[in-house]
Amino acid sequence: MRLYVAVFCIGMILSMPAATLADMAGVGLPPISPHDKPSLSEGEVEFYVDTSGFRGVQGKTSQNVYLLVRCTQITFRPWQDSDASASGGNRQGKYVGKLAIRTRVLNEAGQVIDQGEWIKQIPVEDLESTQDPNARVNDMFTLSLVPGTYDLEVTVEDLQGEKQGLCRRKIEVHNFEAAPSAVTISDVEFGAEIERSEDKQDRFVHNGYRIVPNLTRSYGMGRTLKCYFEVYGFAVDPSVDDDSFYLSYSIVDTNGVVVKSYDVKRIRKPGESCAKMDTLALGDLSSGGYGFLVQVRDRLTRQTARTLRRFQILSTSQAGQELSEEEKELWRYYSDIRFVATEKEQKLLKSLDSKGQERFLKQFWKDRDPTPETPLNEQLMEHIRRMKYTENQFAAQVNKRGSDTDKGRVYIKYGPPDDIQYNTLATGEKSYEIWVYEKQGRYEFVFRDRHGNGIYELVHSTMPGERYNPNWRDEL
C-alpha cells in the first residue's frame, strides 16, 4: 500500500492571532514555507524525508535531514561470513538488510555543493518482525549550509532486493544568527521519541537529547505532541533578579485561527541560548491539518520571536484506534475521586458493584454541593474542570494520563497554584518547577524532571501529608 502524506494548505498566514496571545503575537503569525512538509519518494522503495534546522558555526546552519523506511520494503537475508566486516557492520541478529543511501545538495545555480554515500545495515532476529507495518528504519545526516534555498536529492537502494527510490525536494535553510538584542527560534522538531542521552556515538543525540523524529508529523486524535527546539540571542544581565523569558504554545487551523492554547510559562534563562523539549496533549482537536506555533519573549529586551510548523491529526479510521466518546470521558471525570475522597470512601467504592457505585457517587457529590438549593453543583463542576485540565496539560507519554502524574494529582486535589516558578537549567541538569499556594498559608510543591523526558515528579512539598525533602536542591 502506498504511503500517504497529507499536503497542508496553510501557506502564508496573515490572520490576526487570538486575543489571549495578542501581547506576544504582535500583528500576525509568521509565514510558513511551502517547502515545510514531509516528502515521499518515488520508485520501488518508498521513504519519507523531512528536515529541521539549528544554529551552526561561522554563520552557517546545521540542517538535519531525516529518513524513514518501512521494514516491509527491505529485503533481509541470512548473515554471510563477510557481512560482519563489511562497512564496519556489527553482526547482531540472524538476518540483515542492506540499504545504500546517496545524497546530493544543489544550490540555486544547479551546482552540487555537497554529496555523500553510505551503507546502512539493519540486523534482525527473525523475518516475522520485519513484516510488522510499524517496523521502520530511521536514519539521518547533517548538512552545514549557508542560509538559502537548495535542492536536495536522496536515493535509497535496497542492495539485496535490487530496487530503489528517489526523493527530490527543496529545503529552505533559515538564518538563526541573532542580531544584537534579537531572539530567534530554531525549527521545531516533532519527535516520536525524545529522551535525555549523552551518547555521542548516536547520531540522533543532539544537545543532550536523543530525538527520534516523527517524520510524517502525524498524530492520532487525542494523543500527545512531542517537540524539541532551541532559542538563541537572549540578553543576559547577571544583575537582574529572575532574568527570564516567556514561552507560549498555540495550535492554529489552516485559516490561521488559534484553536488551542497552552499556558504561558515564565522560564529562567540558563544563558544566551536555551534548548527546550515539551510534551503537549492535543485534546479533542478533530482530524485535519494544523500549524504548531511557538512564541518566545525576552523579558529583559521585550524582543519577541515566533516560529510555525505544520502537522496533521489523523481521523480514527486513519489512525486505526478507538476514540473515547464524550459521555465516557465525563463519566470518568465524575467517577475518579481518588484525590478528593477519603481512604475509607475509596475502599467502599471499590467494594460495590456497578449499580452500587452509581448510587455511591451520586450521594458523594450531593454531600459536597455547596449550594444544594440550586440545580448546579459547583464542586462537581470544578472537579470536572480540573480533571479535564490535567488531561490536556500534563499528559507526558502514551498510555499515561495527565491525572496519573504528580502534577495532575496536586492540581486536582489543591486546584491551580497561585504562582509557578519555571527553571530550565543548563545541559546535563534537570529542569524543575515550584508551585506556590497562598490561600490558607503558604505552601510549596517542587516538581523535577528527573529523567529529562518532560515528566515532572514531586520531590518536595511543605504541605502537611505530602513528600517532605528540604534538601531537594542538593540533588540538582
pLDDT band at 321 (very low <50, low <70, confident <90, very high): very low
Closest CA to 176 of 185, 168, 167: 185
In b/e form, how buried is each residue of 225-239, taking b as 16+ CB within 10 angstroms? bbbbbbbbbbbeeee
CA dihedral 447, 264, 182, 241 (to 10 degrees): -50
Grid cell, residue 69, equals: 523506511
- Distance between CA atoms of residues 472 and 474, nearest Å: 5
Calpha distance 171→113 (Å, rounded): 14
Alpha carbons within 13 A on the beta-carbon side of 454: 25
CA distance 284 to 392: 9
More confident call, 444 vs 429: 444
Choice between 467 and 21, residue whose per-residue pLDDT is larger:
467
Q: Which tens digits make up the pLDDT trace of 284-306?
A: 788 888 999 999 999 999 999 99
- Model pLDDT, residue 47: 92
Does 18 score more than 60 pLDDT?
no
Helices (H), 19-76: 22-25
* Alpha carbons 459 and 315: distance in angstroms, whole number: 39
> What per-residue confidence (pLDDT) applies to 310?
92
Question: Which of 26-35, 102-111, 198-207, 363-372 has the highest mean predicted lDDT (pLDDT)?
Answer: 102-111
Written out in words, the top-level CATH class of the domain with range 40-79+91-173 is mainly beta
Q: Can you tell me the distance from the alpha carbon of 161 to that of 461, in angstroms, rounded to the nearest whole number?
A: 60
**Average pLDDT of the chain, as a whole number:** 83
**Minimum mean pLDDT among 84-88, 154-158, 266-270: which range?**
84-88
- Residue ranges of domains in the chain: 1-37+186-318, 40-79+91-173
* Confidence grade of residue 180 (pLDDT, cut at 50, 70, 90): low
- Whole-number Å distance between alpha carbons of 458 and 468: 10
Q: Give per-residue pLDDT as tens, 340-374.
A: 999 999 999 999 987 788 889 989 998 998 888 77
For the entire predicted model, the pTM comes to 0.63
Q: 326-335 and 378-393 helices cross at what angle (nearest 10)?
A: 110
Res 4 pLDDT > 60: no
Give the pLDDT confidence score for residue 378 in this predicted structure.
85
pLDDT digits (tens, 9 = 90+) for 113-126: 999 999 999 999 88
Q: What is the pLDDT of residue 356?
A: 87
Same fold, 1-37+186-318 and 40-79+91-173: yes
Confirm if 195 and 210 have CB atoms less than 8 A apart. Answer: yes
* Mean pLDDT to the nearest integer, 124-149: 88
CATH topology of domain 1-37+186-318: Immunoglobulin-like (2.60.40)
- pLDDT at position 52: 95
- What pLDDT does 425 receive? 63
Strongest mean pLDDT among 190-194, 201-205, 404-408: 404-408
Segment 448-464 shows an average pLDDT of 87
Confidence of residue 388 (pLDDT cuts 50, 70, 90): confident
Q: What is the pLDDT of residues 57-99, one digit of tens each?
A: 888 999 999 999 989 889 999 987 445 444 444 556 689 999 9
Write the CB contacts of 406 (distance below 8 Å, at least 6 apart in sequence): 447, 456, 457, 458
Gap between the Cα atoms of 178 and 298, Å rounded = 13
For residues 294 and 227, what is the distance between their CA atoms, to the nearest angstrom?
Answer: 10
Percent pLDDT > 70 in the chain is 85
pLDDT of residue 147: 94
